[in-house]
Amino acid sequence: MPKSQKGVALLKEIGKVNENARELLEKELPDIAKDIDEENRIPSSFIQKLRDAGVFDPRDIRELLEMVRISSRSSPAVGHLILINGTAKLLLNKNLKKSIIAVSITEPGGGSDVKANLTTKAVNVGEKTYINGTKFFTSNALYADHFLVLAVTDKGPTLFLVRKSENVVVEPMDLTAMRGAGISVVHYNNAPVEMVVGEEGTGLRNALLSINIGRLGYSVIALGIAEGLLLETIKYAKKRIIFGRPLTEHQGPRWMIAELYSKIELLRSYISDIVKDDKNIDPLKASIAKVEGARLAQRAAWVAVQLKGGRGLEKGSLTERLSRDARALDIGEGAREVLLDFIGHKVSKIF
Ligand SMILES: Cc1cc2nc3c(=O)[nH]c(=O)nc-3n(C[C@H](O)[C@H](O)[C@H](O)COP(=O)(O)OP(=O)(O)OC[C@H]3O[C@@H](n4cnc5c(N)ncnc54)[C@H](O)[C@@H]3O)c2cc1C
């Protein structure tokens, strides 16, 4: 085993990943991750390689999450792309092989309170249905072949599948985090519907099913970020000689490394336990994993900068990129406070 892979081998898998996908995500992705962040876009040649390697068609939830985790060690944006597509496909249960799906729920009027601010409409004209409205923060939109859109009908909020066309206008957002994940404003201008997902009026319930896996997936992005930062920090600290010995030979830094590795192990084992029964992801556990995962990734960002000293503040470095992405984990797939409210409510009912 090459020396650079030794650390990664210590981190036990959540699921089995096909070899082509692993090669791309573990070996090729780290070399282009900085460019993806700078350009706010994944090169189309790399997207094609991901399609061909089956990254967008995972065999099960464990393979999906393991791919998200490996990617997030160098490029959480690519992990995010894989995750959002994977959650949509699990919900759709339709053969859309190799295609990429975007999820369009949030509107300019707000995200946490989805129902109150929903203005996107679905209108029937003869046999056909058309979508009109504007969505914010639609991940994957830049690369998507299909869009899963929440829109209102006479029966209430409903999920629709819409194919990419000139009636779907995508404007990439210039965020400081998850750069390259294709997060965009999307305008649906009389966009024809390909399929209604589930029963009319059940859109919010269906969206929640997908958000549930998304929340667990966010904890896996957090795990990948924490691992990426830990591996980077140890590599640096071993070479950095301070007061006559490597930084890793000082007790303070060793304690910080011990704390991160222990928490990574705990999170990994908690996530593995949640996906043991992949048909029933417990929403309470998925929310706990997300909240605690985000906290761990943000702590890892703090430790990385602390142990790398001034070098930890270099713009464009892996430390800087992963730190920005770690911050977004408390917002996407449900703000931290919304999840804490949900956890507190559930736990109070149990005991
Ligand atoms: C990286 C990223 C990816 C995303 N991807 C998608 C996507 O693919 N598709 C999509 O549709 N949307 C996506 N979103 C949008 C996301 O779902 C919303 O950002 C999220 O739901 C929060 O909504 P908001 O940003 O409008 O914040 P708001 O709803 O305005 O909330 C702002 C803040 O208010 C506080 N708050 C809110 N509710 C409560 C409460 N009940 N109690 C206490 N405090 C509260 C929280 O601190 C919260 O951070 C993404 C967002 C991010 C950051």
Q: What is the pLDDT of residues 296-331, one digit of tens each?
A: 999 999 999 999 999 999 999 999 999 999 999 999
Q: Which of 177, 200, 223 is the last residue of a domain?
A: 200
CA 25 – CA 21 distance, rounded (Å): 6
Bigger pLDDT: 114 or 123? 123
What pLDDT sits at residue 94?
Answer: 78
Furthest-apart CA pair in the chain: how many Å?
80
Q: Are residues 314 and 221 in the same domain?
A: yes
What pLDDT sits at residue 1?
Answer: 44
Q: Are residues 316 and 227 in the same domain?
A: yes
At 42-55, the pLDDT tens digits run: 999 999 999 999 99
pTM for the whole structure: 0.96
CA 140 – CA 102 distance, rounded (Å): 5
Q: Are residues 169 and 253 in the same domain?
A: no
332 CA → ligand 1 middle, Å: 6
Mean pLDDT (whole number) for 129-155: 97
Q: Are residues 340 and 224 in the same domain?
A: yes
Looking from the CA of residue 105, the nearest atom of ligand 1 is: 11
Nearest CA to ligand 1 atom 11: 105
Give residue 6's pLDDT band: very low, low, confident or very high (50, 70, 90): low
Is 15's pLDDT higher than 50? Answer: yes
Q: Are residues 170 and 240 in the same domain?
A: no
At 244-287, the pLDDT tens digits run: 999 999 999 999 999 999 999 999 999 999 999 888 899 999 99
Nearest CA to ligand 1 atom 48: 335
Nearest CA to ligand 1 atom 39: 338
Q: Residue 188: exposed, middle, or buried by beta-carbon count in 10 A (0-12, 13-18, 19+)?
A: buried
What pLDDT sits at residue 207?
Answer: 83
162 CA → ligand 1 middle, Å: 23
Q: Are residues 113 and 84 in the same domain?
A: no
Q: Which range, of 132-141, 170-179, 271-280, averages the lowest pLDDT? A: 271-280
Domains of the chain: total: 3
Q: For residue 27, how many other CB atoms are within 10 A of its CB?
A: 12
Residue 180: CATH number of its domain:
2.40.110.10
330 CA → ligand 1 middle, Å: 9
Q: Residue 270: exposed, middle, or buried by beta-carbon count in 10 A (0-12, 13-18, 19+)?
A: middle
What pLDDT sits at residue 117?
Answer: 79
Residues having CB closer than 6 A to ligand 1 are 84, 103-106, 110-112, 137-139, 177-178, 183, 328, 331-332, 334-335, 337-338, 341
334 CA → ligand 1 middle, Å: 5
Closest by CA position to 47, among listed 67, 27, 23, 29? 29
Residue span of the structural domain in which 323 resides: 205-350
Angle 203-239/3-10 helices, nearest 10 degrees?
A: 130
Contact call for residues 22 and 70 (beta carbons, < 8 A): yes
Is 5's pLDDT higher than 60? Answer: no
Q: End-to-end alpha-carbon separation of the chain, Å?
A: 49
Q: Are residues 79 and 162 in the same domain?
A: no
Bigger pLDDT: 187 or 9? 187
Residue 28: CATH number of its domain:
1.10.540.10
CA 30 – CA 42 distance, rounded (Å): 12
Looking from the CA of residue 177, the nearest atom of ligand 1 is: 1
Closest by CA position to 222, among listed 103, 92, 76, 85? 76
Q: Are residues 108 and 52 in the same domain?
A: no
Closest by CA position to 56, among listed 91, 22, 84, 15? 84
Give residue 345's pLDDT band: very low, low, confident or very high (50, 70, 90): very high
Length reported for the chain: 351
Nearest CA to ligand 1 atom 47: 337
Residue 229: CATH number of its domain:
1.20.140.10
Q: Are residues 328 and 226 in the same domain?
A: yes
CA 64 – CA 82 distance, rounded (Å): 7
Q: Are residues 114 and 91 in the same domain?
A: no
Q: Which of 200, 222, 253 is the last residue of a domain?
A: 200
Q: Of 82, 105, 106, 147, which is best to mutate to test ligand 1, by the most ligand atoms within 8 angstroms of its C-beta?
A: 106
Q: Are residues 88 and 50 in the same domain?
A: yes
220 CA → ligand 1 middle, Å: 19
Q: Which of 178, 200, 222 is the last residue of a domain?
A: 200
Q: Are residues 279 and 246 in the same domain?
A: yes
- The four Cα atoms 58, 63, 66, 67 give a dihedral, to 10 degrees, of -20
